[in-house]
Amino acid sequence: MRVIVVGAGVVGTMHAWHAVERGHEVVQIERESEARGASLRNFGQIWVSGRAGGEELETALRARELWETLGERVPGLGFRANGSLTLVRTERERAVAEAALTRPDAAARGYELLGEKEARALNPALRGDFLAALWCERDAAVEPRTAQLRLREALLASPRYTFLPGREVREAVGENAVRDDHGDVHTGDVVVLATGAWLGGLVRELAGPELPVRRVRLQMMQTAPLGEPLTTSVADADSFRYYPAYRSAALYALNAGQAQTPTAAAHKMQLLMVQRADGGLTIGDTHEYEHPFAFDTVEDPYDHLAEVVEGFLGRPLPKITRRWAGVYAQCVDTSRVVHRQQVRDGMWLVTGPGGRGMTCSPAIAETTANELGW
């Protein structure tokens, strides 16, 4: 087959990867010189721990397997099975972690509740104050700023793969074909539109104005090198409020009896933190759902995150070297892993994984390939 992939973010690149792996010819078209959106502006986490049970968890676990295999074949991805610790500071927070252990899929996630000393032994950089930690053995990480670049380098080694950057697809031409802004028509047996948060223009024309996908904006930051290993990813108990795996009577009690700080509540925040290959820390994040989004970043969330991180590390945060905002596409029905829609014969739109994009993209693309009979 000849597969046309529009979009070079992680979802599009994983579709290209699966197609090439199955022996097909692939043309991948990207409007920028390389991906610049949420596929780079994220934690690089392969985040199994908080996923909803059922299809979402199954997708995440399968994606975790695929990422590990990819990491063996493409070392530049920086894959590492580092797991995660969600740190709790109060008895109400500990109760939510304990409730998570009773889930029927707790073992599949690798859940274990660790005491303070056990958590510090696993991650010695955590010298601050906390009571206990929910360990998730299945979580992992990659390097988000370079993952797509390294995957593309591997793809370019195949004579069946062509990458066309700096071309914006403007028009669907009949079936199985698109025209770019250079005037070139690209025809295949199937076209996959993996356009991320770009939901206007051609996407709106093909999918209609009622596309059940929304855009979400976040703020994040990165520090200078920590000077020591942060051996696991780290989250705080605000993530219990955000991720569906933690829904329980204990979470209801937490929400009713222990409010978030005003800043965290106003910006719909949680702490997630991952150490990068250079030793710096990627830290976030916020959630903004109402349009129009702000065009600038605000400092209060960064101050809140720095305070939380310093409390867990028991030391000052290294200098903040980068701050950024990003926008990703999320299904309005957040229980859906992704929106996959046939918009014309031979043409499919795949978008809306939300904050699951980096985690689930290999399995999302594999499902597309299976369903389309590649």
Architecture of domain 1-82+140-211+335-374: 3-Layer(bba) Sandwich (3.50)
How far apart are alpha carbons 247 and 52 in whole angstroms?
9
Task: Tell me the two tokens of residue 94.
Answer: 């500990």
Domain chopping of the chain, boundaries: 1-82+140-211+335-374, 84-137+213-331
Whether residue 365 contacts residue 10, with contact meaning beta carbons closer than 8 Å, is answered with no
**pTM to 2 decimal places:** 0.96
Topology adopted by domain 84-137+213-331: D-Amino Acid Oxidase; Chain A, domain 2 (3.30.9)
Plot region of 7 (φ>0 → left; ψ -120 to 50 → alpha; else → beta): left
How far apart are alpha carbons 8 and 16 in whole angstroms?
9
Residue 56 main-chain phi, psi, to 5 deg: -65, -45
Per-residue model confidence as pLDDT tens for the chain (374 residues): 999 999 999 999 999 999 999 999 999 999 999 888 888 889 999 999 999 999 999 999 999 999 999 999 998 999 999 999 999 999 999 999 999 999 999 999 999 999 999 999 999 999 999 999 999 999 999 999 999 899 999 999 999 999 999 999 999 998 899 999 999 999 999 999 999 999 999 999 999 989 999 999 999 999 999 999 999 999 999 999 999 999 999 999 999 999 999 999 999 999 999 999 999 999 999 999 998 999 999 999 999 999 999 999 999 999 999 999 999 999 999 999 999 999 999 999 999 999 999 999 999 999 999 999 99
